[in-house]
Amino acid sequence: MKKEIITLAHGSGGKPTQDLIENHILPRFGNPALKQLLDSALLECPGRIAFTSDAFTVRPIFFPGGDIGKLAVSGSVNDLAALAAEPLFLSASFILEEGLEIGELDEVLESMSKTCAETGIALVTGDTKVVEKGAGDKLYIASSAIGIRRQNPDPHPSLISPGDAILITGPVGDHEIAVLQAREHFFRELELESDCAPLWPLIKSLLAAGLKVKAMRDPTRGGLATVLAELARASRLCLQIEESRVPVKSSVLAACEMLGLDPLYLACEGRMVIIVSEESAQEALTILRAHPLGAQAAIIGEVLEKPEGRALLSTRIGGRRILAPLSGEQLPRIC
């Protein structure tokens, strides 16, 4: 059977566009706001909101543990979750390359719909555009999301103080290595999956227990090291972690050794760096570990007064060095 593909006609705005929306998108995201198909979604937002925007260009669009659709929803949800905001509404614009198999698009949409349902976020508005063959790479997604801020004061680097504990919700680097594995067809024997996941349910469980989060960041591009360096700069304090306490899967370590990559700089798409007061650290860890998304969470370090604005790593053999933000690209188009 001939495979159906996207053609420039799907971007014309006419019948094929309508068909794409009505037969492929609406059935999967049928909420009242979207179904009206107005020029803008009409929404009611109770209270203080957080608003975020992101674009996704990962190659390949399917990788072990996820795909560009799951990544787009997770990425937006996690940017909200990092501000303790409960995800409510999502927009998604699809840039489709002529020749994309409609079956592949369906698979991505299905995965997005499932990820939205897991989190309770509703896709309420969107757009599709088609570009000529060669002008894109199968499928890009641009998304925006709105959430309700559930903690007052909002998590913010200015709340960090000396003595605070630094936590990570799971092993680092799985996503970047999984994408690399899918792209270059090596390390198949590692059986590694991307950590790509929407983290709101996990963060919600922390907030529900009445725990006050001082600051959060999701370590995507640039990884754990870059996020810590940025938090240190923003808080004008020193964030020090211990190498031996940072969870890294042995398969990720093995791949890093072969490719000369540093796991602390690898992108994650389903992890959160969380800073809480020293007194709340153990309770936070217990709550995180009780949730499947945080089963391997760990306390990895603490906040010190000095040196101001620096992130430091205490190495396995007891050396101490700076964690600088990532410069250049370790690997392009991973998210």
Partner 1 sequence: MLSLETNKVLESIAKMDVSAHFMEVCGTHTVSIARSGLKKLLPESIKLISGPGCPVCVTSQSDIDYAIALARQPGVIVATFGDMVRVPGTETSLLETKASGGKVEVVYSPLDSLNLAEAHPREQVVFLAVGFETTAPLIARTVQLAKAKGISNLSFLIMHKLIPPAMRQLLQMKEVKLDGFLLPGHVCAVIGSRPFLFLKEEFGLPGVVAGFEAEDILLALFMLAQQKKEGRAEIEIQYRRVVRQEGNPNALKAMEEVFEVGEAEWRGLGIIPHSGLVLRQSFSDFDARNRFSLEIKDSREYPLCGCGEVLRGVLAPQECPLFGTVCTPDSPVGPCMVSSEGSCAAAFHYERET
Identity of the residue, 109 or 225, whose beta carbon is nearer to partner 1 in the bound complex: 225
Shortest Å distance, C-beta 256 to partner 1: 11
- Residues 133, 138, 140, 141: is their CA dihedral positive or negative? positive
CA atoms of 160 and 78, how far apart (whole Å): 20
Residues 324, 140: Cα–Cα separation, whole Å: 30
DSSP 18-41: HHIIIIIIGGGS--HHHHT--SS-
Give the total residue count for the chain: 335
Q: CA 227 from chain center: how many Å?
A: 13
Give the residue with the Cβ less far from partner 1, 46 or 328: 328
Strand partners, 130: 96
Complex with partner 1: residue 152 or 250, whichever CB lies closer: 250
d(CA 228, CA 312): 9
Q: Residue 138 in contact with residue 62, Cβ under 8 Å?
A: no
Please state the closest distance from residue 260 (CB atom) to partner 1, in A.
5
Instruction: Report in angstroms how near the CB of residue 136 gets to partner 1 at its nearest.
Output: 18
Residue 210 or 260 having the CB closest to partner 1: 260
Q: Tell me how far, at minimum, the Cβ of 14 lies from partner 1, in Å.
A: 35
CA dist 231 and 236 (Å) reads 8
Least separation in angstroms between residue 255's CB and partner 1 is 11
Q: Can you tell me the distance from the alpha carbon of 124 to that of 181, in angstroms, rounded to the nearest whole number?
A: 34
Q: Supply 29's token pair.
A: 């995201």
| CB contact at 8 A, 29 and 116 | yes
Shortest reach from residue 317's CB to partner 1, in Å = 5
CB of 44 to partner 1, least distance (A): 45
**Rounded to the nearest whole angstrom, what is the least distance from the CB of residue 228 to partner 1 in the complex?**
14
Q: 81: closest CA among 147, 3, 160, 19?
A: 147
Between 26 and 259, name the residue whose CB sits nearer to partner 1. 259
Q: Which is nearer to partner 1, 282 or 315 (CB)?
A: 315
Which pair of tokens denotes residue 90? 């999502």
| Cβ distance to partner 1 smaller for residue 2 or 185 | 185
Rounded-to-10 torsion of CA 331, 293, 53, 277 = -100
Task: Provide the H-helix boundaries in the chain.
Answer: 15-19, 32-35, 68-81, 102-119, 174-184, 200-208, 223-235, 250-259, 281-290
Task: CB nearer to partner 1: give 211 or 259.
Answer: 259
| Closer CB to partner 1, 263 or 294, in the complex | 263
Smallest distance, partner 1 to C-beta of residue 331, A: 9
Contacts with partner 1 by CB under 8 A lie at 184, 186, 242, 244, 257, 259-262, 307, 310, 312-322, 324, 327-328
